[in-house]
Amino acid sequence: MSTEPHAPSAADRKGCRRAENPPDLGAPDAVLEVVFGCRAEDVAEDVIVTPFVPLKSFRRHLGEAPRELSPPFFYTGVTGRFAGRPVTVILTGVGPGPVGDGMSFLSLTPARRVLFVGAVGGLSPDFSIGDWFLPTEAADGEGYSRYRDLGFERVVREARTVSCTGGMEADLAALLRHRGLPVREGRVFTIGAVAFECRNNLELLARCGFDALEMELSAFYSAAAHHGLRAAALTYVSDLPLSRSLWEPKTAEEEEILQGVWRALPRLALEFLSETP
C-alpha cells in the first residue's frame, strides 16, 4: 500500500494557504449561479457538506428565514444562522465526484471551514453500529472502471492515501469525547462502486488495514488540501458489512441506535462549527 503523500504539507494546511482556482472553471459568478443558484456572498465562511443528510434536518435548526440555494441543477443548499453565526449546508449527492466538485466550487466563495457529514461501513471488529468515526487517512479507491480494467485487489494495493488532517480534527475529537460519545478513529477506503462491496473484497480491505469504507472522503480531503480549506469529517458507523450484508435488515435495537444518531447528527455538526474558533 503506497503512502506517498500527494497533498500540501502540514505547514501549508495549517496556514490554510489557498491555491489558485483551476482556470477552466469559468467566471466565478456564472459558475456559482449554475451550481449553487446564488452569488458568492450568499455562502458563509462555515459550510457543512453532506452526501445524503436531508437539508430539512439542518434547516429546522437554522432560525428564521434561511436562504434557499436552488440552482438549475447540480447541488441544493441553504444558508442560515445557528447560535448567531452564518452557516451554509450543501447537499451534494453520494460519491467522490460530486463531493470533490462541490469543494472546488466552494473555493470560489467565502467558504473557509468545511465539515463533511456522512457515514461509514465499519470493518474493524471493535466497531459498533452508531459509533462516531473520525478518519485518520483515506485511500483513493475511486473508479468503477478501474475495478473492471485492473481488478479490485490491484486498485486497493496501489491506492494512494490522503491524510485526513484538515486543521479541525483535534477540536472535533475533543468535542465528541467531552460529551461522552463513543469515538473511533482509523483508516478508510473510499470505494467507487457499491456493486463491488462483496465479501471477498471487504475481507481484502480488512486485511490491508482499513477500519472502514465509504464513498467520498478521499475526494473531500484532496480538494480541501488543494484549495486551502480547513476541514474535518464527522461520520458515524451505519453498518458492519463483514458481520451482516448491507442488504440485510437491522435489528430493532440497531434501528433505535441509528435513529438516535440520525437525530443528533445535524445539530452536533452545527454546534461544532459554532463552538470552534
| 70-120 confidence digits (pLDDT tens) | 887 789 999 999 999 999 999 999 999 999 999 999 999 999 999 999 999
Per-residue model confidence (pLDDT) at position 60: 93
Residue 4 lies in a domain: no
Quote the domain boundaries for residue 87.
Answer: 10-239+248-275
Amino acid at 63: G
Mean pLDDT (whole number) for 192-205: 93
**In degrees rounded to 5, what are phi and psi of residue 157?**
-70, -25
Residue 154 lies in a domain: yes
Per-residue model confidence (pLDDT) at position 265: 96
User: Is pTM, for the whole model, over 0.85?
Assistant: yes
DSSP conformation class of 167: B
Residue 107 lies in a domain: yes
Per-residue model confidence (pLDDT) at position 24: 64
Residue 3 lies in a domain: no
Mean pLDDT (whole number) for 155-168: 93
Residue 164 lies in a domain: yes
Residue 182 lies in a domain: yes
Write the secondary structure of 98-138 as one string of H (helix), E (strand) and C (coil).
Answer: HHHHHHHHHCCCCCCEEEEEEEEEECCCCCCCCCEEEEEEE
Residue 1 lies in a domain: no
Domain count, the chain: 1
pLDDT band at 239 (very low <50, low <70, confident <90, very high): very high
- CATH number of the structural domain spanning residue 264: 3.40.50.1580
Residue 2 lies in a domain: no
15 pLDDT more than 50: no
Nearest one of 230, 12, 266 to 103, comparing CA atoms: 230
